[in-house]
Amino acid sequence: MKRLVMILAAGVVPVSVLVPASSAAPAAPEAATCAPVQVQAPAGARIESVVAVDRPGGTVTFPSNPPFPTTPPVEGVPAYCEITVTLTHGSDHVKVTNLLPKEGWNQRFQALGGSAYAAGDVIGDASVKAVKAGYAAATTDAGVGPSPIDPAWALTSTGAIDQTLLKNFASRSPHELAVVGKAVTKAYYGRAAGYAYWNGCSTGGRQGYSEAQRYPDDFDGILAASAAINWDRWAPSAVWPAVVVNQEQHAPTSCELEAFNAAAIKACDTKDGVRDGVIAEPAKCGWAPESLIGQKVECYGEQVTVTASDARIVRRIWEGPKGLWYGLTRGTTFAGLLPTDPAHPAAPVGSPFVVGDAWVKYFLKQNPAFDTKTVRYADFVKLFLQSELRYNDVIGTDDPDLSAYRKSGGKLLAWHGLDDQLIPAQGSVDYRKRVERTVGGNVDSFYRLFLASGAVHCGPGAGPAPTDPLASLVTWVEQGKAPNTLPAATADGSTVRELCVYPKLPRYVGHGDPKVAESYRCA
C-alpha cells in the first residue's frame, strides 16, 4: 500500500508551475485589502459564504495527510489573500479556494486540477507554488472531500449514486472553478486576469480535457498531463491485472515480474539507436514472455524458476482485456496496478489498484463491502460494459469534437509518459487520432501532444519528463509560438532531452553523449 500511495501522490501535483521571466506580464495593479469580495454565483448554484484569510507567506508548510507522505514546505512564498467561496446546488457544499498574491501578480489566473477521486489540489503545494510564480491560483474540492482514494461521497444514505456530487466531480466543478476563480480575481485586483490557464495531471488532466470539450471559453490555455480522459473504460480496466492473477490462482513473484520487464527492455531498448534502459516505443515491443520460461530468478534470498503459468499471466496483463482496453506496456512496472504487501514484498496480493477497486465497489456494484478479488474474466467483461454504458456520457471526457475549443482560440498542450504505470498512454494517442479524424485541418494549430519515453505517471522515470510545460503553453498562448519540443529531464537531472510533438519521438543521431539533448533529433 505504501508504494501505491507514493505513486498516486506523485500524480496530485502538476510537474511545474513556474514561468520564465521572459514571459512575465506587465507590473500588476496594487492589490486590495484581504476581505470577502462580491461575486455572482454560477448558473444553477447559490453562494453560501465567502471567507477571506490573510496569509503571511514566507515558508509555507502543509499538514500531514495519511496515508500520503508529508508534503515538503515551500519557501519564499509572497504574502497572499486566501478567499474561499462555498457554493451549493441544493444538497452539496462546494469550496472554491483562491490564493491571490498581494504583490507581483503576473495578471494571469491559474486553476489547479485534482488526482484520483479528489477534484482539486488537496496536497496544497501546487497552488502555493503557483502563487510564488505570480499567479492568482484557485482550486476546488467539488464538494466530494479531500481524499484521492476514498469516494465514500459516491453513495447516498440509501445506497444510490449521488448524482449531484458525481456531476460536480465529472464536469461541473472545474467549470464553476473557472467562473468563480476569475470573478474573485477581478474583484480583488480591480481588473480581470489577462489570461486564464488550467494545469492538471491524471484526474486534473481529465478535467482539462473536459473543459476544452464542454466549456471551450473558460481557459486560454490548458495543460493536461497523464490524463484519465477515458475514465469509464480506464477505471474498470485498472483492476485487470488483479483479475488475471485471481482467475489464474497464481501470482508471479515481484522479482519475476521485474525480470520479465528487464528482459523486454534488453530486447527492445536499442530500437531507437541507443542503449539507455528505456524502450522508446513500448507499444511496438513484441518480446515474448515465454522466452523466460525455465530461467531462475533471485528473489529475497531464494531462487525461483519462471514457469509457463508466470509467462501466461504476464502476457495477459500486457495484452489487457482484448477488444476492450489497453494493458500495461512492456518495460512498465507492474507495481502500480498489481501491488504487493509491504510485509511480503515478493508476492502480489491480488488486490486491485485502489482507484479501480473503488470504481467497481462504489459506482458499479454500489456496495463498499464488495470484494473485488472475487471478479473473474466473465464478471470483468460485464463490469466493463456496464461502466461504459452507464458512465461514458457522464465522465468519459473523450469527445473528439474540439472544434469549439479551436474556434475559441484556446491552446491545449498535453503530454503522457509511455511508461505510465497507472493510465496507459495509448488512450491519449487514440484520442488524438480521433480528434484528427473528427475536427480535420491542422489540429497542431491548437492541440499538441508530447509522448515521453520512460516517463511514468505525471513525472520522470527511467526516462525524462517535461520540466516546465506550463512555460511552453504560456509562450504559445501569449506569443503565438507553438512548441515543437518540450525540455525534459530525469528526476536527478542526469539525463536531459527535448520531447517531440506527436507523432515524432527523439532519435539518437548515432554519436555524442546519450544523456544530452543535442545527441537526438525528432523523427
Q: Where do we find the cell 503522457?
A: 416
Catalytic residue among 115, 420, 428, 453: 420
Within 13 Å and on the Cβ side, how many CA atoms surround 442? 5
Active-site residue, 202 included: yes
Q: Mutual orientation of helices 377-395 and 240-248 as an angle, nearest 10°?
A: 170
CB 234 within 8 A of CB 325: yes
**Residues 356, 321 contacting (CB under 8 angstroms):** no
Residue with cell 507492474: 334
For residue 104, give the amino acid letter.
G
Alpha-carbon distance of 125 to 112, in angstroms, equals 10
237 in catalytic set:
no
Catalytic residue among 202, 226, 237, 254: 202
- Per residue, the 3-state secondary structure of 352-419, as one string, reads CCHHHHHHHHHHHCCCCCCCHHHCCHHHHHHHHHHHHHHHHHHHCCCCCCCHHHHHHCCEEEEEEECC
Which of the following is catalytic: 125, 399, 457, 472?
Answer: 457
**CA nearest neighbour of 89 among 176, 151, 14, 8:** 176
What whole-number distance in Å separates Cα of residue 195 and Cα of residue 136? Answer: 11
| Residues 440, 445, 447, 451, Cα dihedral to 10° | 100
H/E element, 101: strand 94-101
Name the E strands within 127-249. 136-140, 195-201, 221-225
Catalytic residues: 202, 420, 457
